[in-house]
Amino acid sequence: MILSRRPDIERFLAKPDGQVRAVLIYGRDAGVVRDRANLLASKVVERPDDPFDVALLTDGDLDSDGARLEGELAAQSLMGGRRLVRLRLTSEKVSLDKMAAEALAAHAEGRLNPDAMFVIEAGNLGRGSDLRKAAEKAAQAAAIPCYEDEPGDIARLVRETLAKDNVALSTEALTLFVARLPKERGVARQEIERLALYLGPGSGRTAGPQDLEDFLGVEPEASLADAASDAFGGRLAEAQASLRRAAQEGEAGPAAVRAMGFHLGRLRRTLTLAKAGAGLQEAAKASGVFWKNEREFLRQARSWTLDDLDLLQAEILNADRLCKQTGSPDQLIAERLALGIASRAKRKGL
């Protein structure tokens, strides 16, 4: 069965259905996948880190010993309680996907140890995945897709995590902090814990927006804007560095592609205004170019043409389409796009 609605997922994780023997939790956000798997594990066994009741396997274990997974699922708990078998898949190997699917199907049917719970954590599985199909089809299994957190989910996570250290944020500060957090939950959680240390654990402090100025520093989006400007300016190494910095801050490939499209749009508007008779500097200001970036932007505007931008627009649209395909290497797509733009800029003398 498929559990895709948030209330259904939360209800199941809080009180797992006793008839379900296998649960597949998958999605692009590894942090959400891991959090949900940990919560489920805590409901299945009293001590999720106890090696007598819990077996934890990875891709490497399946690669080195193909029979081990079914062996662990058939084994009984050494302490007499319920047994938990966890499998963490990070590889996209078709052979491992198929192996896990076969084990899930067998276990869901009760052919192994019917009292054991099988929990699988996986990445962004496509519809063609055998493992995903098996979990969705089996009556005694559940498939839980994980999507990016909504702002409300992140806000709740921030409040709950900070409360453990007896610190808090005002409503305005919370809104600001949530807007600036990385999208990936694991990285976001690290930032929240870092904020708790910054505010002083146990201090009882409630911070306002002004208290976060030094902590927040430069906006993550600035890295993407820098990457786009560097690409159109022919500085490939700098563009790649900015893209990777943005990725560490939680900005994925699609956002990077959009940033390059936004920069192209400003160049197009500037050149269109200049063609209509406006001065280049006046046109740049009318296009919203920040004064600190004006000199570099004007350097680029003197080299790129509207025909050049028309050709690049098609490439950016294609990159954006590719990024939205299931399982796409979106960060690599963004870096390849930046490489292509920077190479053209170099040929123009930039």
Q: What is the CATH number of the domain that holds 277?
A: 1.20.272.10
Residues 12 and 86 in one domain: yes
- One-letter amino acid of 99: M
Neighbours of 27 (CB within 10 A): 19
How much is the mean pLDDT over the chain? 86
Instruction: Give the ranges where 16-129 is alpha helix by DSSP (H).
Output: 30-44, 59-64, 68-74, 94-108
Q: Do residue 164 and residue 121 come from a single domain?
A: no
Final residue before a domain boundary, out of 187, 216, 245: 216
pLDDT (0 to 100) of residue 245: 77
Residue 297 has pLDDT above 90, yes or no: yes
Task: Give the total number of structural domains in the chain.
Answer: 3
Of the three residues 146, 166, 189, the one that is the final residue of a domain is: 146
Question: Average pLDDT of 136-157?
Answer: 85
Residues 261 and 332 in one domain: yes
- Give, rounded to a whole angstrom, the gap between the first and last alpha carbons of the chain: 56
CB 184 within 8 A of CB 154: no
Residue 1 inside a domain? The answer is no
CA distance 306 to 301: 10
Radius of gyration of the chain (CA): 25
Together in a domain, 131 and 231:
no
We report the CATH number of the domain holding residue 39 as 3.40.50.300
Query: Residue 99: is its pLDDT beyond 70?
Result: yes
Q: Please tell me whether residue 184 adopts helix, strand or coil conformation.
A: coil
Domain co-membership, 98 together with 119? yes
CA dist 16 to 44, 121, 212, 322, Å?
8, 16, 40, 37
Task: Give the model confidence (pLDDT) of 271-290 as tens digits.
Answer: 999 998 888 988 888 887 87
Q: How confident is the model at residue 302 (pLDDT cuts 50, 70, 90)?
A: very high
109 and 183 part of one domain = no
211 three-state secondary structure: helix
**pLDDT one-digit tens code per residue, 173-230:** 888 888 777 666 777 788 888 899 999 999 999 998 888 877 775 555 567 888 899 9
Domain of 306, in residue numbers: 220-347
Residue 183 has a pLDDT of 66
pLDDT band at 120 (very low <50, low <70, confident <90, very high): very high
CA distance 316 to 337: 7
Q: Where does a domain end: 125, 146, 167? A: 146
Query: 117: pLDDT confidence band, cut at 50, 70 and 90?
Result: very high
- Alpha-carbon dihedral 196, 155, 227, 289, rounded to 10 degrees: -110
- DSSP string of 113-130? -TT-EEEEEES---TT-H
Same domain, 138 and 185: no
